[in-house]
Structures are given as structure tokens and as C-alpha cells.
Amino acid sequence: MTETDRQILVVDDEPVIRKLLGRVLERSGFQVIMAEDGLDALEKLRHDASVRLVVSDLRMPKCGGLEFVGKAIGEFKRDFEFILLTGDGDKTDAIKALRLGVREFLDKPVDRADLEAAVSNAVERLRDRDQEHERVRQLELENVTQSRNLDSIIRKLGGAEEELIDRLSLISQYRDIETAEHCVRVGLYSQALAEMAGLGADIQRTVRLAGILHDIGKVGVPDEVLLKEGPLSEAEFKIMQRHTEIGYAMLNSSENPVLAQAAVIARHHHEKWRGEGYCSGLTGEDIPLVARLVSIADVYDALRSARRYKPAFDHDVAVSIIVKGDQRTTPDMFDPNLLGLFAQHHDRFDCIYNSMPDKAV
């Protein structure tokens, strides 16, 4: 763990106990931050994104330990370790805390040796998970280091089919005045999500290649709509929606299985799990799986990328919008199983994005 990870948040409504716990932990080499209840602790976490280790009482006024843990996990997308202090009658809540992922419980009054052991175990778990995250990050970097532009991707993938798909994607990119890397990243995100879902290697490869062509139908959208600087009117938006049908018509006549799936993706990647999407208004599992994969990938990359009508958002903001929603995007737009996998492994999306920055075509 780094020096900043030697910080620990102590949450207890009794000042004497806070002071005693803090003294023990400071002697163990930690920088201690104090909070008097769960609400105070949430504020401390909002002001210091480096705090991941927490010792908290379970019974507190205003916001108890169990409520605090749930709020912290829901609000902050960081890797926590919680140590809860329990007393008589707390066992039912302790079981609920276990379901939230809490691994360490100490009975009050707290024994110093038990506290030091619990903190040591929690630090070790954080270290192990950090190492695993770094291992995954390095694997993703290795997978896409040579993929910083379309030509290097073609050399890496090899074969006429891959080159054809990459070249076809350029058609839409020259018209859309966005980056070619956007299309390729969408394919890579979709492949990673398919892998997380346990889908076979053939499907992973297909969705990676087919996903590149998801917006090819934009070649048929008039410039005055496609290149408009401000928000679209209702009539203009209906014209823009036609890119899904145009893309389907362009790709559907092929006997190539990858292009056949690309046609399905082009037509349905704007469908919403709850309905209300386009072009067919499908719901739930009626939406083809390949389109559900690309839907999350496309929204994530669109949020990360600067557009004529919006700035680029950083990774944490993009994840929050997809998982929690905002004025335009809500979680019930997406396949809940795939959304759960995204929420759990979103760092892989961040790695892919950072490994392939936008460049002019």
C-alpha cells in the first residue's frame, strides 16, 4: 500500500472510545481521521478520496454503522475495507453487514491486539486486491498497446475480414467528424464485457469486430443534422434515429456471420431494456445480446469523449452516470446483469480508453 493508504477513518459517537482507538492506530503507523457518526464519516470520505480503511461502531445516533456502510458503498466507487465494532444484540445487523461485504467484526470493549490484527488483515486484503487490479490493468495494456490507430489494429488482427471491417468503419468516421478510435474502443469494450459474461471466444471475437460498425448508418444522415453544433430538435432527432435502419440495410445482405451480427448491432444498439428505445422499441431479452453488450460500451465511450454538444467526462463521472443515472441516462436502460458486471469491473473500460486516446482520422 502507498503512504496515502496508511490513512484510517475511525467512526464512533463516544469521544473517549474514538480517542483510544485513534491512539492505538497511530502507534501502529496510521494517520487517523475521526468522525462522530455515519453522516460525519460520509463527509470525511467525500473530502478525502484516498481513505479506504474504516473502523466504525455499529450503534450510533443519526446514522449508524450499518447505514453508513451501505451509503459509502453506494456513493463511492472505491475499494473499502470496513471493521465494525459490535456489542450485545448486534449480531443480526452484523449478518446484514456481511452481505454488504464487511469481513472484520470486533466485540466491544475492543482488545488492542484484536484491533491490530483486524487492521493488518484488512490492509493485506486491500494490498492483494490492488495487485490483482494492477495485473488486470497490465493485461489490458498488453492487449491494446499496439492498437493506437487503425493501421496497427489491422496488423495485429490480420486477415481480410478484419481489415475490411476496419476500413468500413472509416466511412462513418469521415462523415461523423469523430475519431476512428471511438469505433474500435466500442468493439474492445464489448469484447471485454462479453468475456466478463462468460461468453465463448467466438462471440467475443464477433462482438469486437461487429461492434466497430455500430454507427456506420450515420453515412446516410444529412450533414445539417449529423454535424449540428447544438441540441437536435424533435424532427431532427427522428432523422438521426434513422441511422440504425440505414446501418442494418447496409450490412444485412452479407452472408459473412460477423457482418450479419454487425447488422443486428447497428439496428438495435439504441434499444433500452425497459423499452422506449429505437428503432424497434424492444424490451428486455427481446433485445439481441450483442446489441445489449454494445449499448453499454457505446454509452460509456460517448460519455468519455468530447463531442460538439458536450465535454468529455472522466471515468468516475461516466461510471456514475451509467450506474446511477442523470437527466438523460438511467440504469434501467441496460441489461441488469451486464450493468452489474460493468459496475464490478469498470476499471477495465478505463484502461482500454486510456490506452487508445482519440486522434484525428
Instruction: Give pLDDT, residue 10.
Output: 95
More confident residue, 143 or 16: 16
Tell me, yes or no, whether 276 and 321 share the same domain: yes
Task: Collect all residues with Cβ–Cβ distance below 8 Å to 125 and sequence separation of at least 6.
Answer: 81, 103
274 lies in the same domain as 210: yes
- Report yes or no on 171 lying in a domain: yes
Q: Is residue 60 part of a domain?
A: yes
The amino acid present at 92, given as its one-letter code, is: T
Over residues 113-141, the pLDDT tens digits come to: 999 999 998 998 888 888 877 776 676 66
Within a domain: 110: yes
Domain end position, chosen among 133, 161, 195:
133
Say whether pLDDT at 148 is over 70. no
What is the C-alpha to C-alpha distance for residues 356 and 182, in angstroms, rounded to an integer? 9
Interval 278-326: pLDDT, tens: 989 999 999 999 999 999 999 999 999 887 767 889 999 999 999 999 8
Q: Are residues 193 and 331 in the same domain?
A: yes
pLDDT at 161: 59
Whole-angstrom Cα Rg for the chain: 24
- pTM for the predicted model, two decimal places: 0.57
Q: What pLDDT sits at residue 177? A: 46
196 and 109, same structural domain?
A: no
Selecting among 218, 228, 238, 272, the annotated active-site residue is 218
Q: For 50-64, 107-121, 184-198, 226-240, which range has the lowest pLDDT when averaged over its residues?
A: 226-240
85 versus 144: the higher-pLDDT residue is 85
| Whether residue 163 has pLDDT greater than 60 | no
Q: Which of 346, 261, 249 is nearest to 299 (CA)?
A: 346
Mark whether 175 and 279 lie in a shared domain: yes
Given a cut of 50, whether residue 146 has pLDDT beyond it is no
At 339 the pLDDT is 96
Query: pLDDT class for 147, splitting at 50, 70, 90?
Result: very low
pLDDT computed for residue 304 by the predictor: 93
Same domain? 31 vs 168: no
- pLDDT greater than 70 at residue 156: no
Task: Quick: pLDDT tens for 70-107.
Answer: 899 888 878 889 999 887 655 567 677 777 778 888 88
Domain contains 360: no
Known catalytic residue: 71?
A: no
* pLDDT for the residue numbered 152: 53
Print the domain residue range for 231.
Answer: 146-355
- Domain holding 225: CATH number? 1.10.3210.10
